[in-house]
Amino acid sequence: MTKAKLLFFTLCLISTHSFAVHLESAESIQIKRQNKAKKSQVRVEKIDDQAQKMLDEFREASLELENIRTYHNQLEKIVQSQEQEKKELTQQMLDIEITQRNITPLMLRMLDVLEKFVALDAPFLEKERQLRVTHLKKLMDSSDIALGEKFRRILEAYLVETEYGRTIEAYSGTLKQGDKNVTVDFLRLGRLGLYYLSLDENEAGLWNKKENRWQVLDDSYRSAIRQGLRIAKKQAAPDLLQLPLPAPEAVQ
């Protein structure tokens, strides 16, 4: 081999080696770049995951904050409502206290009027009506009976007295004649007339309100009173009764 060929061959080897070296270096650099890119991608993905996680946490915190605000606003409304109810209850208690102070004297006056009315009224069911008044007077002094219940009982007594004026009634009772009490049958026609008929039907009478005494009637009225008693006991159909009535009192 000539020196020229040897030199050329040598140069070729050197060039090939140098190219190989440069190629290897380029590949190494490329690999390093790829590795760096992969690492960067991993870091980017990690940062993205963290950002997404933080965003989710932010959204969750925002939603929870909104719920807390809504709950707080609702609590404020409830507190305001309770304060209003408290004011209303306080006013109601004050009104009840004032009402109690005013209604007690009213009930006592009503009871006094009822007692006088019963005493001045025609003498029918005397014991029953007087006992009712006595019971109400004891009731007013009782501490274990509510004020509303006391008022209800007094109104109930007034209603009973009112009902007497719209009903017809027959009952047995005693009539004082001189020094003795005689059992008779009484006939009450509302508050228009109060009559009696002896058990042997030999005597009949009328309560004279103006003179405040019993007045013996003519024998001709005994039949009408007998029929009135049968009607009141529902032993006969309603019918027209010809009975005397007390003279109406003059209006003052």
What are the structural domain ranges in the chain? 58-164, 168-232
Whole-number pLDDT of residue 30? 74
Whole-number pLDDT of residue 15? 58
Average pLDDT, the chain: 84
Backbone conformation region of residue 125, classed left if phi is above 0, alpha if psi is from -120 to 50, else beta? left
pLDDT of 13 over the 60 cut: no
Q: How confident is the model at residue 161 (pLDDT cuts 50, 70, 90)?
A: very high
Give dist(CA 94, CA 88) in Å, integer.
Answer: 10
Once rounded to an integer, what is the mean pLDDT over residues 237-242? 88
- With a pLDDT cut of 90, the percent of the chain lying above it is 45
Once rounded to an integer, what is the mean pLDDT over residues 68-85? 81
